[in-house]
């Protein structure tokens, strides 16, 4: 395993971090036996950073880690979790949620506590409620050692948050598609210039970069150096010294094994000029193919009407990217059949059921016009109108 300087912090971080947001599923919950096997394999092979958050797996991710990090594994890693910023209504909630999280994790303290998904709306609210003063007190009490935040907003919101406090670390979405999106390269460089450790999330853009359509694969195949799409995507992030570790939300043992192997060979500044040009070609082609910039993070869920927002967007995007419009319409129709005829699904989760309440849009880290896109999804997949790439 490769280890990297992590801002001004007093430890080096493994190139690969274990993200506990997309753990394997079984019988409607976490497949704890398989998930524990995956986690232990990663740690046994050098991963020293484990990340979770209050809402992951409906709160069960923290509970799972509380059990799976027993037997000496807790002492081998830095454990990070996140305050649910959107749930904070008063200063009393700071202790309320941290106490609940520590109980779930079976810990007296965590190494890293992050304010989850800060943006230009919730950051002023937390700041004015005194979250920084509270955090200083909680650190002094030994409830966590380092304070950071994760970020999902446009670049203009990033620097004011960075400048508001002497943060220990930040967590940003970053990949070769998002160079100018969200915090982007500019934000990465700015945080690093202040000595703030940077943990990168969504290096595969919610998995979209892992299994590319044929036009993208053709570009990758044209390279002299043959690599998997996952290798190309992760290597691009690891190539940059400003980036610390990469968080990967892994769902299978094969993914863990592959990512551990790749992280063990990752180096700074190893990509050639020709290879960097290849990324530009791939990004341009992806821009041509992708309609809705959804990463399936699930922050928009649950929908009060039970609409599966990421699922609808995934079907629509796949129909365009793979040029399989009929398949997309078939999957959309099957959802209705599965609910109304076969009763496989408890609810009709299709875009048609959106009532335009807007609750989802305030939570979307990508700033997607969810209501408009859900309407377009139903028009295209439910009513047979053409699939379009822009509204």
- Chain segment 98-139, per-residue pLDDT in tens: 999 999 999 999 999 999 999 888 999 999 999 999 999 999
Place 342 in a pLDDT band, splitting at 50, 70 and 90: low
Total count of domains within the chain: 2
Written as six digits, the tokens of 232 are 């190309």
**pLDDT value of residue 310:** 92
The parent domain of residue 23 ranges over: 3-288
Q: Specify if 391 maps to a domain.
A: no
My answer on whether 374 and 338 are in the same domain is yes
- Whether 111 contacts 81, CB under 8 Å: no
Phi, psi of 18 (to 5 degrees): -95, 110
**pLDDT value of residue 56:** 94
My answer on whether 179 and 222 are in the same domain is yes
CA distance 60 to 206: 20
CATH of residue 119: 3.20.20.100
My answer on whether 136 and 99 are in the same domain is yes
- For the cut 70, the answer to whether the pLDDT of residue 300 exceeds it is yes
Which residue numbers are catalytic?
Answer: 56
Which residue among 222, 256, 288 closes a domain? 288
My answer on whether 282 and 313 are in the same domain is no
Q: Per residue in 181-219, pLDDT tens? A: 889 999 999 999 999 999 999 999 878 788 888 899 999
- For the cut 90, the answer to whether the pLDDT of residue 321 exceeds it is no
Lowest mean pLDDT among 7-16, 122-131, 163-172, 261-270: 261-270
**pLDDT value of residue 345:** 75
Q: Per residue in 370-382, pLDDT tens? A: 999 999 999 999 9
CA distance 65 to 59: 11
3-state secondary structure (DSSP) of residue 51: strand
Q: Does pTM top 0.85 for this prediction?
A: no
């Amino acid at each position: 395993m490769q280890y990297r300087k992590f801002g001004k912090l007093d430890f080096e971080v493994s190139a690969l971090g274990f993200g506990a947001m997309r753990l394997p599923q079984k019988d409607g919950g976490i497949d704890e036996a398989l998930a524990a096997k995956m986690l232990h394999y990663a740690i046994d092979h050098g991963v020293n950073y484990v990340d979770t958050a209050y809402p992951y797996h409906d709160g069960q991710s923290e509970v799972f880690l509380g059990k799976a990090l027993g037997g000496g594994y807790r002492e081998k890693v830095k454990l990070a979790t996140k305050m649910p910023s959107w749930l904070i209504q008063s200063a009393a909630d700071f202790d309320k949620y941290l106490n609940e999280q520590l109980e779930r994790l079976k810990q007296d303290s965590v190494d890293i506590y992050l304010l989850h998904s800060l943006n230009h709306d919730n950051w002023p609210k937390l700041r004015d409620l005194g979250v920084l003063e509270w955090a200083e007190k909680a650190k002094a009490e030994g409830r966590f050692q380092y304070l950071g935040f994760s970020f999902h907003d446009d670049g203009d919101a990033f620097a004011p948050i960075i400048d508001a406090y002497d943060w220990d670390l930040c967590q940003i979405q970053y990949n070769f598609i998002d160079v100018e999106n969200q915090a982007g390269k500019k934000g990465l460089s700015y945080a690093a210039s202040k000595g703030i450790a940077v943990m990168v999330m969504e290096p595969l853009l919610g998995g979209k970069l892992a299994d590319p359509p044929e036009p993208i694969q053709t570009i990758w195949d044209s390279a002299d150096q043959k690599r998997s799409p996952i290798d190309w995507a992760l290597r691009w992030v690891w190539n940059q010294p400003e980036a610390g570790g990469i968080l990967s939300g892994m769902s299978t043992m094969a993914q863990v094994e592959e990512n551990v192997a790749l992280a063990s060979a990752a180096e700074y500044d190893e990509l050639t000029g020709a290879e960097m040009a290849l990324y530009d070609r791939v990004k341009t082609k992806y821009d041509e193919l992708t309609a809705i910039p959804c990463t399936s993070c699930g922050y928009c869920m649950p929908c009060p009407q039970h609409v599966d927002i990421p699922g609808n967007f995934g079907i629509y995007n796949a129909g365009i990217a793979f040029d399989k419009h009929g398949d997309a319409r078939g999957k959309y129709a099957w959802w209705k059949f599965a609910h109304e005829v076969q009763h496989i699904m408890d609810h009709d989760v299709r875009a048609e059921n959106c009532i335009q309440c807007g609750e989802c849009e305030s939570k979307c880290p990508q700033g997607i016009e969810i209501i408009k896109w859900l309407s377009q999804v139903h028009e295209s997949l439910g009513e047979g109108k053409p699939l379009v790439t822009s509204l």
